[in-house]
Amino acid sequence: MVDSVHRELILALAKEVLPGNDHQPAAIDVDISGEPLDRVLSSRPDLEGRLLDILERFAADESLTAAGFVATLDAQELRVLMTVFCGAYFLVREVRRAIAYTGQQALTLDRGGFGGEELAIKQMNLPKRYRKPPERVG
Amino acid sequence: MGGDLSQTEVLVIGAGLSGAIACQRLARAGIGVTCLEQGEWNPRESYPGDKPDFELQALGPWNANPNIRRGKADYPILDDTSDIKPLLFNGVGGSTVMFSAHWMRFLPSDFFTYTLDGVGTDWPIDYHELEPYYLQTEADIGVSGLAGDPAYPDRPEYPMPPLPIQPWGEKVAEAHDRLGWHWWPGSNAINSRLHQGRRPCVQRSTCRAGCNEGAKGQADQSIWPSAIAAGAKLVTGARVARILTNPQGRAEGALFVDEFGVTRKACADIVVLAAHAIGTARLLLKSVDAAWPDGLANSSGVVGKNLMMHPMNRMVGFFDEPMSSWQGHWGQSIYSMEFAETRAEHDFARGAKWNLSPTGGPLNAALYPLDDPQPFGVDLHDRVDKWLGRSALWGMVAEDLPDSHNFLTLDSAHSDVDGDGLPRLHYETSENSKRMLSFMAKRARESFGAAGAYEVAEQTLAAEIGWHPLGTCRMGNDPRNSVVDKWNRCHDIPNLLIVDGSSFVTSSCVNPAATISAIAARAVDRLIHCRSEY
Ligand SMILES: Cc1cc2nc3c(=O)[nH]c(=O)nc-3n(C[C@H](O)[C@H](O)[C@H](O)COP(=O)(O)OP(=O)(O)OC[C@H]3O[C@@H](n4cnc5c(N)ncnc54)[C@H](O)[C@@H]3O)c2cc1C
Ligand code: SF4
């Protein structure tokens, strides 16, 4: 189970992993270690054990900075960490607003045409380009 | 719980694409047919596409890799000896539940690679023999597209007009027009209109984890309802462990484990294997006995051999303008067959099909496995800013040629639930494919550049995208080097048919589902019309 110590470790790492930029907020400012993390782990309970292993290793090695620690992760561990952190971060409404992401929405199909009709007609008028195979004998 | 199933005329194993087509046609012809499927129905409401955590789920419980997904119906596939990891789905509808729905016919030359180019092997059938079946299955599945593509022989209109090619499709189409290169509006097994009671696409772009709207022609939604209405019986949660044969050398049914874990028998006059190129070869190799020590129907030694996986590159073009490119059908916006055929000036044989797609939401942007290392920190924010809504993706699928060194075996060091070895894939990407994809990557940069992309990122040889395993029980006239004949009947066992993608001789560069459907329909029509010969 993720406890308050783990949540603090997540915030310490989040400073390095998702520091924010001029319009995307920092992960610590939207506190990904709270409700967003819980949402990720309820969608993906399979990630929890591996996340805890990573956090416990981070806690055990005081000589490493957060950035130094992230650099020690192998590809699979980094994938787990990034999936949890980014998964939580991009679920936050404020972050979605900042990146102008409206979610995967149901839209009404435009019935006006498919786009590029004139260009398709040009293609249609070109000579056939496929290779004709030989007639099969027998 | 019950005992053995009552005898049926035809027993089909696997309720995926080919199994659904087989059952639909048999039932419509009034032939008694029962299908055993190891997975379950997955109702539309269960798909994650309309939930905010869609992207997270698509990486886990809805991942197309069964070794990651680890669903109840999934069997492990040992893939550490394969350059490319297999993707498939086990459940009613099979892999079409997750497929991207690009619907492409083979090119006429695909059936003659040896005669035309001195590589691969010729098929015993050709484009024209499949043409009527392409047409019929397009109507049943529900395909949208535009007739008149100069890369193909003439054809009638598609059942539905094409889906919008999207702003990124228009940019690239204009670029190809200027370059003098081929492009064409995508043909997709996705409704652009109300079709046979299924609604049109809402462009949510979540096709890879099942379509919540019923707009995608996945076989559970497009084919199975009419198959069942015509009288086909479908038993789910029924994992087949063995194909049974009698002393006369004929198939007599299958042994399966039902949803309660009880081993039962299903007997039939004719058995049809439709369990996917991995599942079918696995079942034949599992079905050993004194008469078939090397696997059922394997006197040729070819069962499991010639595994093809369609290596691919993916290229992402970044544009300045916002295009909401997380929306749009996840099928193909446009495709290009510019480099699909062999050309004298190339240093590789055959070619690649290109398909242009949208690029997903922010998690996809953040975690997408490009050749550059996984970014974090400020670089990650930059990647998302560049990617989200302002990019498009060329997938380039290389025609994979059959090679007996690429194969599937059962690895006895790792047991499955029946105590048999687990399937192991041995697959190495060929030098021909590597040269081809390196060429394609350069051309894709030109394509995106001409379309106005300010930057292009690359994923060379996308190892995690083995979406098209094919060829493990190939078709041929000679029983010494093929498993099934031109009507998909096993040379060794005349009442055993294999109608899935394992029967492919070569892979073409196009996506296989249209040809799997046409081959299954053709094989079953012949069975219906020449029933007494089986
Ligand atoms: C992510 C993804 C994207 C794809 N995109 C495209 C695309 O855009 N265009 C395209 O043309 N193709 C695409 N494909 C490929 C296409 O979906 C497959 O080629 C096609 O579905 C294969 O049909 P099949 O009948 O051979 O097998 P499947 O459709 O996979 O069906 C096999 C069925 O057999 C069942 N089965 C297996 N073993 C047993 C057993 N022992 N007992 C009982 N049941 C068993 C399985 O559970 C499964 O339901 C994609 C595939 C994937 C995974
Ligand atoms: S984009 Fe269309 S086909 Fe794909 S999941 Fe959405 S509605 Fe279905």
Which atom of ligand 2 lies closest to the CA of B101? 3
> Residue B527: which region, alpha, beta or left (left: phi > 0; alpha: psi -120 to 50)?
alpha
Q: Is B98 helix (H, G, I), strand (E, B) or coil?
A: coil
pLDDT at residue B88 is higher than 70: yes
SS (H, E, C) B229-287: HCCCEEECCCEEEEEEECCCCCEEEEEEECCCCCEEEEEEEEEEECCHHHHHHHHHHHC
pLDDT attached to residue A134? 83
Q: Which residues of chain A have pLDDT under 50?
A: none
In a mutational test of the pocket of ligand 2, which residue from B211, B324, B332 has the highest number of ligand atoms less than 8 Å from its CB?
B211
pLDDT at residue B211 is higher than 80: yes
- The separation between CA B263 and the C-alpha centre of its own chain, rounded to angstroms, equals 30
Chain B hits for A82, Cβ within 8 Å: 366-367, 374, 376
B 101-120 residues inside an 8 A Cβ radius of A: 107-109, 111-112, 115-116
Closest listed residue to residue A89, CA positions, set A29, A47, A48: A29
Ligand 2 centroid–CA B207 distance in Å is 5
Q: Using a 6 Å cutoff on CB, does residue B202 contact ligand 2? A: yes
Mean pLDDT confidence for B469-482: 98
pLDDT attached to residue A111? 80
| Residue whose CA is at the smallest distance from ligand 1 atom 4 | B99
Q: Using a 6 Å cutoff on CB, does residue B97 contact ligand 2? A: no
pLDDT attached to residue B442? 98
Ligand 1 centroid–CA B255 distance in Å is 22
| Residue whose CA is at the smallest distance from ligand 2 atom 2 | B201
pLDDT attached to residue A13? 97
Residue identified by tokens 């030359």 is: B109
Ligand 1 centroid–CA B363 distance in Å is 26
pLDDT attached to residue A110? 81
Q: Cβ contact (<8 Å) for A129 and B184?
A: no
Find all residues with CB under 8 Å of A42, minimum gap 6, and list them: none
Find all residues with CB under 8 Å of B374, minimum gap 6, and list them: A75, A78, A79, A82, B367
Cα separation, B454 vs A108, in Å, equals 31
Chain A hits for B174, Cβ within 8 Å: 116, 119
pLDDT attached to residue B106? 98
pLDDT attached to residue B3? 86
Q: Which two tokens stand for residue B131?
A: 């043409």
In angstroms and rounded to an integer, the radius of gyration of the C-alpha atoms of chain B is 22
Q: Is A103 on the interface with B (CB under 8 A)?
A: yes
What digits encode the pLDDT tens for the residues B91-126? 999 999 999 999 999 999 999 999 999 999 999 999
Find all residues with CB under 8 Å of B308, minimum gap 6, and list them: B400, B401, B402, B406, B468, B469, B470, B471, B504, B506, B507
Average pLDDT value for chain B: 97
Cα–Cα distance list, B484 to A133, B303, B413, B491, B497 (Å)? 23, 10, 30, 5, 8
What digits encode the pLDDT tens for the residues B303-353? 999 999 999 999 999 999 999 999 999 989 999 999 999 999 999 999 999
Q: Cβ contact (<8 Å) for A120 and B377?
A: no
Cβ–Cβ under 8 Å, residues B277 and B503: no
DSSP annotation of B368: -
Q: Using a 6 Å cutoff on CB, does residue B215 contact ligand 2? A: yes
Q: Which residue of A has its CA nearest to B124?
A: A136
Percent over 90 (pLDDT), chain B: 99
Mean pLDDT confidence for B245-260: 96
Q: Is A138 on the interface with B (CB under 8 A)?
A: no
- Contacts of B199-204 spanning 24+ positions with Cβ under 8 A: B200/A109, B201/A109, B201/B163, B201/B329, B202/A106, B202/A107, B202/A108, B202/A109, B203/A106, B203/A107, B203/A109, B203/B163, B203/B164, B203/B327, B203/B328, B203/B329, B204/A104, B204/A105, B204/A106, B204/A107, B204/B49, B204/B50, B204/B327
Q: Is A120 on the interface with B (CB under 8 A)?
A: yes
- Which residue among A102, A104, A129 places its CB closest to the CB of B49? A104
Q: Is A129 on the interface with B (CB under 8 A)?
A: yes
What digits encode the pLDDT tens for the residues B374-418? 999 999 999 999 999 999 999 999 999 999 999 999 999 999 999
Could you give the ipTM of this predicted complex?
Answer: 0.96
Q: Is A116 on the interface with B (CB under 8 A)?
A: yes
Ligand 2 centroid–CA B93 distance in Å is 16
Q: Is B72 helix (H, G, I), strand (E, B) or coil?
A: coil
pLDDT at residue B174 is higher than 60: yes
Give CA angle at B301 (B499, B427), nearest 5°.
75
pLDDT attached to residue A138? 53
Ligand 1 centroid–CA B469 distance in Å is 9
Q: Is A46 on the interface with B (CB under 8 A)?
A: yes
What digits encode the pLDDT tens for the residues B21-80? 999 999 999 999 999 999 999 999 999 999 999 999 999 999 999 999 999 999 999 999
Find all residues with CB under 8 Å of B275, minimum gap 6, and list them: B13, B14, B16, B19, B240, B282, B283, B500
What's at B237, amino acid-wise? G
Cα separation, B394 vs B181, in Å, equals 15
Q: Which residue of A has its CA nearest to B194?
A: A109
pLDDT attached to residue B315? 98
Residue identified by tokens 């040992």 is: B78
Find all residues with CB under 8 Å of B489, minimum gap 6, and list them: B495, B496, B497, B523, B534
Give CA angle at B62 (B58, B65), nearest 5°.
100
Q: Using a 6 Å cutoff on CB, does residue B329 contact ligand 2? A: yes
Cα separation, B97 vs B500, in Å, equals 16
Ligand 2 centroid–CA B49 distance in Å is 9
CB atoms within 10 A of CB B458: 15
- Which residue among A40, A106, A122 places its CB closest to the CB of B202? A106
Q: Which CATH class is domain B8-66+79-153+160-186+212-533?
A: alpha beta
pLDDT attached to residue A137? 61
Q: Cβ contact (<8 Å) for A16 and B377?
A: yes
pLDDT at residue B450 is higher than 90: yes
Mean pLDDT confidence for B246-265: 96
- Which residue among A106, A122, A130 places its CB closest to the CB of B108? A130
Cα separation, B398 vs B116, in Å, equals 18
